[in-house]
Amino acid sequence: MTRIKIIVSVLFVCCTLFSSKRVEKVNIWLIGDSTMAPKSAKAYPELGWGEGLADYVTNKAKVHNHAVNGRSSLSFINEGRWQAVYDSLQKGDYVIIQFGHNDEKTDSARHTDPFGSFKQNIQKFIDEAGKKGAIPIVCSSIVRRHFDAEGNLKDTHDDYITGAAQIARETNTAYVNMEALTRKLVSGMGPEKSKDIFLFTDSKQDSTHLNVAGAGIVAGLFVEEAKAQRLPIASIFK
């Protein structure tokens, strides 16, 4: 064997060994609405908490944020957005599901019944993720920063929180009550200090959407709860 052939053979063996030992990243797929979604540069400093989640994962995982502004569980399906995620799912992936904000809307393109079509849509995500060997996690919507005159947070999501919890329980799916976690956070901060994590600028006062700091903090709440519940996904968080 010539010297060149020997070098080529050694390189081939090394590359083969490297490829066989390379560990594929675990994919975390996020589906939801604007409170979770990525934003354009023009929207700065608005940011969904799904973007903040990327800072908490180890190098063993990759976050794919498919949440979109204005979408409900119904419109996310009807626009083909769930199909795109479903087609990409692999065994061992995670799917984090958070809808409710826009399911409350009255227009026919988005509205769902909290104990009917809303639960059915969430179950569709759960069942189809399971068919691919992916692991679904249901989340309730994050709280809106709507305080009453006495300084107490209002309940603006009504039965959609209960519906999300019910379908998670009925299907034995992991559930993270983001409404409760963020309610505790925002209540503790109070009406004024809580503006620091929502979209309050000179030109905009928004008590629904998070800013960059808020996205990181709320993502951290999800991570802490996943660890507290000892969910399998916790193993890929820092």
Q: What is the pLDDT of residues 133-169, one digit of tens each?
A: 999 999 999 999 999 999 899 999 989 999 999 999 9
Distance (Å) of CA 218 to CA 45, 50, 211, 212? 15, 9, 10, 10
Residue 151 resides in a domain? yes
Do residues 35 and 201 touch, judged by C-beta distance below 8 A? no
Q: Report d(CA 192, CA 196) in Å as an integer.
A: 8
Collapsing DSSP states into helix, strand and coil, what is residue 59?
Answer: coil
Query: What pLDDT is attached to residue 82?
Result: 98
User: Does residue 29 surpass a pLDDT of 70?
Assistant: yes
Q: Report d(CA 9, CA 137) in Å as an integer.
A: 47
Residue 11 resides in a domain? no
User: Does residue 233 surpass a pLDDT of 50?
Assistant: yes
Please report which confidence band the pLDDT of residue 23 belongs to, taking 50, 70 and 90 as the band edges.
low
Compute the CA torsion angle 204, 206, 212, 213 (nearest 10 deg): 110
Do residues 145 and 188 touch, judged by C-beta distance below 8 A? no
Cα angle 146, 96, 67 (rounded to 5 degrees) comes to: 65
Percent pLDDT > 70 in the chain is 90
Domain, as residue range, for 125: 24-236
Residue 4 resides in a domain? no
Residue 82 resides in a domain? yes
Residue 12 resides in a domain? no
CB within 8 A of 83, min separation 6: which ones?
77
User: Does residue 13 surpass a pLDDT of 90?
Assistant: no
What 8-state DSSP symbol labels residue 237?
B
CATH classification at residue 175: 3.40.50.1110
Residue 66 resides in a domain? yes
Please state the pTM of the whole predicted model: 0.90
Do residues 174 and 136 touch, judged by C-beta distance below 8 A? yes
Q: What is the mean pLDDT of residues 8-33?
A: 64
The Cβ of residue 160 has, within 10 Å, a number of other Cβ atoms equal to 25
Do residues 215 and 49 touch, judged by C-beta distance below 8 A? yes
Write phi, then psi, for 100 (nearest 5 degrees): 145, -40
Please give the tally of structural domains in the chain.
1
Please report which confidence band the pLDDT of residue 226 belongs to, taking 50, 70 and 90 as the band edges.
very high
Look up residue 143 and give its two tokens.
């709280």
Residue 48 resides in a domain? yes
Please report which confidence band the pLDDT of residue 14 belongs to, taking 50, 70 and 90 as the band edges.
very low
Residue 14 resides in a domain? no
Cα angle 201, 207, 211 (rounded to 5 degrees) comes to: 55
